[in-house]
Amino acid sequence: MEYDFKRDLIWLISRPWIFVPRFIQIVGAISLLLARLIFQGSSNDAKTQKNLAKFLLKTLIGLGPCFIKVGQALSTRPDLIRKDWLEELTNLQDNLPAFPHDKALEIIKDELGRSADELFEDFPSAPIASASLGQVYKARLNKKYWVAVKVQRPNLIFNIRRDIVIIKILGVFSAPILPLNLGFGLGEIIDEFGRSLFEEVDYIKEANNAEKFSKLFHDNKSVTIPKVEKHLSSIKVLTTSWIDGTKLKDRNELINNNLNPSYIIRTGVISGIQQLLEFGYFHADPHPGNMFALKGSHGDLGNIAYVDFGMMDSISEEDRLTLTGAIVHLINNDFDLVAKDFQTLGFLNQEQDLTPLIPVLKEVLGSALGKDVSSFNFKEITNKFSELMFDYPFRVPARFALIIRAVISQEGLALRLDPDFKIIDLAYPYVAKRLLTSDTNEMLNILLDVIFDQNGNIRVERVENLLNVLTQDSTTPAKELIPVAGAGLKLLTSRRGTLIRRNLLMSIIKDERIDTKDMKQLIKLFRKTFNPIKMASGLIKQNNTQVA
């Protein structure tokens, strides 16, 4: 049940009757697909594009689970894939051909020890959805309690084991001629993909993942996680409470169900950022089939539910802090520090001379960022880095493969519902709030980098920027600022605030003279931002809105 390329390579090569026919089938199917894409991909004829999309879908389904997973990732990118292709690829999420119902009943009995009719009060005669690795039944456990029963496809381990080896062989040999120069990192990325797939087919692990994820969002009323019924779950069968919601596939469908797409996007993206930068444990496959919009809202946050916890991953504390710092450095145009962040994260070699790369990063990231935070998007960034990888030593660390997939899928999902959405427009306010309210030494060091320059001067404009982004889209700014004010006072008067107090004092003493200009500007900013009358009226307005 664990991924091991060397073991599986030996296993497959020693069985040429399995390896050779499958290798020929995959190469033939991909070659035929590429030929059609080359000759018909640029056609303006709608019928031709529709047929091409259907052929792409048919090819991916025919090649099996590993290739369906690739198609699912593409189905979340409306900025990469034509709209008519996208409509076809969304069928890969939960509208795949089902395997025989009798086989599903047999697997349930083998795994759980009793037949479905004995275990459930009501078990349907057909699945309600069929995905890449299994199919889902809506069953009734007792009275009004409905559950989702996911049953794994037959021979799944064998198929994944065989195909991942062939995919890696093809990937490593074709890497030098691919349009995107991934270099030696491509093999590692395929290994990461293989490891995640092997974990995804173990439903006991998925059950544990769901319970862990549920604990992280226990106090978040906007995020729902289904309850696992462990006594009805095994390696190949997973039973959870049924989620009754609207899939995040279409903006109009949400509106028709009286759901606010903007609120739903906001909750989805904020919860995704929280997973990466706060929890360090994240859902790596947030495509529309795995997320539902639920009725109700909390302020400007909609209610969402996550399902399918097979593809999960962790990010280390060190990487989380570096990513947080990188976002701050990027917004503040500190591209020398951004370069160091890339080096720390492994996108650049530790011995790499960063001097010639700083202007490159400024050109790529600075132009993508533009004049304000909201103009930034990952699509533009990935496109430009694709070009740079030929000439500069950037690479994608294997441990970031699923992180990048999760972020890009999240952005793609949001773009389906709002074409003008910018993910960092929500990411930066979240990071700003963490900086201003966190009590860890690591976050304090990042905050000091923001507030003070190398000469110890107060960067009032950056403090103002931090405070502004907290309230830029908020209808209740007082609600955002009061926790910040409390946390700031607590920090300044604590032992941990010694560094800030000392730096503030040193900013006044310059060249053996007293200079209070920066301090006066800072005090003026705080008076304006945390004006008691303004904050009190804001709270009253907020309470009146809630009562209404």
The pLDDT of 184-188, averaged and rounded, is 66
pLDDT value of position 116: 94
Q: Which of 381, 375, 347, 346 is nearest to 363 (CA)?
A: 381
Give dist(CA 428, CA 470) in Å, integer: 9
Q: pLDDT tier at 547 (50, 70, 90 boundaries)?
A: very low
The pLDDT of 78-83, averaged and rounded, is 60
Query: Comparing 271-275, 320-324, 446-450, 544-548, which segment has the lowest mean pLDDT?
Result: 544-548
pLDDT value of position 330: 78
Exposed e or buried b per residue across 307-335, where buried means at least 16 C-beta atoms within 10 angstroms of its C-beta: bbbbbbbebeeebbbbbbbbbbbbbbebb
Q: pLDDT tier at 181 (50, 70, 90 boundaries)?
A: very low
Residues 12-33: tens digit of each pLDDT: 999 999 999 999 999 999 999 8
Q: pLDDT tier at 287 (50, 70, 90 boundaries)?
A: confident
Q: At what angle do helices 477-493 and 498-508 cross, to 10 degrees?
A: 90
The pLDDT of 479-483, averaged and rounded, is 70
- For the cut 60, the answer to whether the pLDDT of residue 390 exceeds it is no
- For the cut 60, the answer to whether the pLDDT of residue 120 exceeds it is yes
CA distance to 16, 70, 191, 359, 402, per residue, from 399 (Å): 32, 18, 10, 27, 7
* pTM (2 d.p.): 0.76
The pLDDT of 281-287, averaged and rounded, is 86
pLDDT value of position 26: 94
Locate 384 and state its tokens.
Answer: 């430009």
336 tagged catalytic? no
Residues 324-369: tens digit of each pLDDT: 888 778 777 788 888 899 889 888 888 888 888 888 888 777 665 5
- For the cut 90, the answer to whether the pLDDT of residue 206 exceeds it is yes
Q: Which of 13-27, 373-387, 509-523 reaches the highest mean pLDDT?
A: 13-27
Q: What is the DSSP letter of 68?
A: H
Q: pLDDT tier at 176 (50, 70, 90 boundaries)?
A: low
Q: Which residues pair with 228 in a beta bridge?
A: 240
- For the cut 90, the answer to whether the pLDDT of residue 3 exceeds it is no
pLDDT value of position 67: 87
- For the cut 70, the answer to whether the pLDDT of residue 94 exceeds it is no
Q: pLDDT tier at 288 (50, 70, 90 boundaries)?
A: confident
CA distance to 226, 290, 296, 319, 358, per residue, from 334 (Å): 42, 37, 41, 19, 9
The pLDDT of 110-136, averaged and rounded, is 92
Q: Under DSSP, is residue 281 helix (H, G, I), strand (E, B) or coil?
A: strand
Q: pLDDT tier at 389 (50, 70, 90 boundaries)?
A: low
- For the cut 70, the answer to whether the pLDDT of residue 488 exceeds it is yes
Give dist(CA 372, CA 351) in Å, integer: 33
pLDDT value of position 371: 46
The pLDDT of 519-527, averaged and rounded, is 80
CB 415 within 8 A of CB 378: no
Find the length of the chain: 548
pLDDT value of position 381: 65
Residues 41-56: tens digit of each pLDDT: 778 888 888 888 889 8
Give dist(CA 92, CA 62) in Å, integer: 12
pLDDT value of position 540: 61
Q: Which of 466, 465, 454, 449 is nearest to 500 (CA)?
A: 449
pLDDT value of position 285: 81
pLDDT value of position 477: 65
- For the cut 50, the answer to whether the pLDDT of residue 184 exceeds it is no
pLDDT value of position 196: 82
Looking at the chain, the whole-number percentage of residues with pLDDT higher than 70 is 83
Q: pLDDT tier at 548 (50, 70, 90 boundaries)?
A: very low
pLDDT value of position 108: 96
CB atoms within 10 A of CB 9: 16
- For the cut 60, the answer to whether the pLDDT of residue 507 exceeds it is yes
3-state secondary structure 434-472: HHHHCCCHHHHHHHHHHHECCCCCECHHHHHHHHHHHHC
Annotated catalytic residue within 285, 313, 341, 449: 285
Pairwise pLDDT comparison (151 vs 393), residue with the higher score: 151
- For the cut 50, the answer to whether the pLDDT of residue 373 exceeds it is no
Pairwise pLDDT comparison (88 vs 283), residue with the higher score: 283
Give dist(CA 427, CA 275) in Å, integer: 12
Q: pLDDT tier at 183 (50, 70, 90 boundaries)?
A: very low
Q: What is the mean pLDDT of the chain?
A: 81
CB atoms within 10 A of CB 290: 23
Give dist(CA 326, CA 334) in Å, integer: 9
Long-range contacts, stretch 59-65, CB < 8 angstroms, 24+ apart: 59/29, 59/30, 59/32, 59/33, 60/92, 61/92, 61/96, 61/97, 62/29, 63/25, 63/26, 63/29, 63/163, 64/159, 64/163, 65/132, 65/133, 65/153, 65/156, 65/159, 65/160, 65/163, 65/197
pLDDT value of position 298: 84
Looking at the chain, the whole-number percentage of residues with pLDDT higher than 90 is 28
Give dist(CA 259, CA 256) in Å, integer: 7
